[in-house]
Copies of this chain bind each other. A is one copy, B any other.
Amino acid sequence: MKLFNYWRSSSSYRVRLALHFKALPFEYVAVSLIKGEQHEVSHRERSPAGYVPVLEVEEHGKPAFIHQSVAIFEYLEERYPERPLLPKSLVAKGQVRAMAELINSGIQPFHNLSTLNHLKTLGVDEKKWAAHFIDQGLAALEQLAKQHAGTFLFGDSFSWADCCLLPQLFGARRFGGNVDGFPLLTRLEKHCAELPFVKAARPDAQPDAQPS
């Protein structure tokens, strides 16, 4: 497998966490969002929308491309079920996916690169904008965590919800959101930070990482 991704992209980081948790080998291919490599013809052939991450897999001996972190995650979970990132019960699965979606569709879209670029053209303060959506979304997630968290965001097993949480807290700090207001989420993050597969997936551990 090849992962076309970018060290600092939040949804790339999610997929790296899933791959490293499942201990799946993959080739890391950097696509620089800052240099605009996502818009180059070669990448558009993989992702017409010009997104990262994209996972290249083989099907019937030919390469095939899966994009969108949620779709990549579900592919990995079904193809490589050995180290599961979802609980067993259908209701519990739904609750993990709902927490992940709260981040995936409820927070992250508001501070991705194309949104921030559009805000600039409108003269809107991007940091305040991002902080508003991050605070609102993390507040809802902290509530859900009170119902469901153990040593991880859902119970006592690392899940797809944690794969979304860690990049979201990384993004929150980057875009000026207040993470101190969410003691449970940051406690879970601290616990995860010590795990070797998490260390391997972190933005600053990637080959294309730049000094901040």
**Cα separation A122 to B130 with both chains bound (whole Å):** 13
Residues of chain B with a CB closer than 8 A to A93's CB: 71, 74-75, 78
Question: Could you show 5 A-B contacts with beta carbons less than 8 Å apart?
Answer: A49-B106, A71-B101, A74-B94, A105-B109, A109-B109
Chain B residue with the shortest CB-CB distance to A119: B124
The complex places the Cα of A47 from the Cα of B48 at a distance, in Å, of 35
Does chain B have a CB within 8 A of A57? yes
Instruction: Name the segment of A60-68, A149-157, A171-179, A202-210 touching the other chain.
Output: A60-68
Evaluate whether A59 and B98 lie within 8 angstroms (CB atoms) in the complex, with A49-B143, A110-B109 already known. Answer: no
Flag if A74 contacts B91 (CB, 8 Å): no
| Minimal beta-carbon separation of A100 from chain B (angstroms) | 8
Q: Would you call A78 and B90 a contact (CB within 8 A)?
A: yes
Q: For the complex, would chain A's binding face be called helix, strand, loop or mixed by DSSP majority?
A: helix
Which of A's residues lie within 8 Å of B, judged by CB? Answer: 48-50, 57, 59, 64, 66-68, 70-72, 74-75, 78-79, 89-91, 93-95, 97-98, 101-102, 104-106, 108-110, 114-115, 118, 122, 124, 129, 132, 136, 140, 143-144, 147
CA distance A95 to B57 in the complex (A): 12
Scoring A50, A57, A90, A102 by chain B CB atoms within 10 A of each residue's CB, the highest score goes to A90
**CA of A97 to CA of B55, assembled, Å:** 14
B94 contacts A48, C-beta separation under 8 Å: no
Which chain B residues border A67 with CB–CB below 8 Å? 98
CA distance A40 to B57 in the complex (A): 46
Which B residue sits closest to A142, measured CB to CB? B48
Residue of B nearest to A109 (CB): B109
The listed residue (B71, B97, B104, B110) touching A94 by CB distance below 8 A is: B71
Contacts of A101 in B (CB 8 A): 68, 70-71, 104
Residue from B68, B79, B94 in contact with A75 in the complex, judged by beta carbons closer than 8 Å: B94
Contact of A90 (CB < 8 Å), options: B50, B79, B94: B79
Contact partners of A118 in chain B: CB under 8 A: 132
A59, A78, A101, A129 pick with most chain B CB within 10 angstroms:
A101
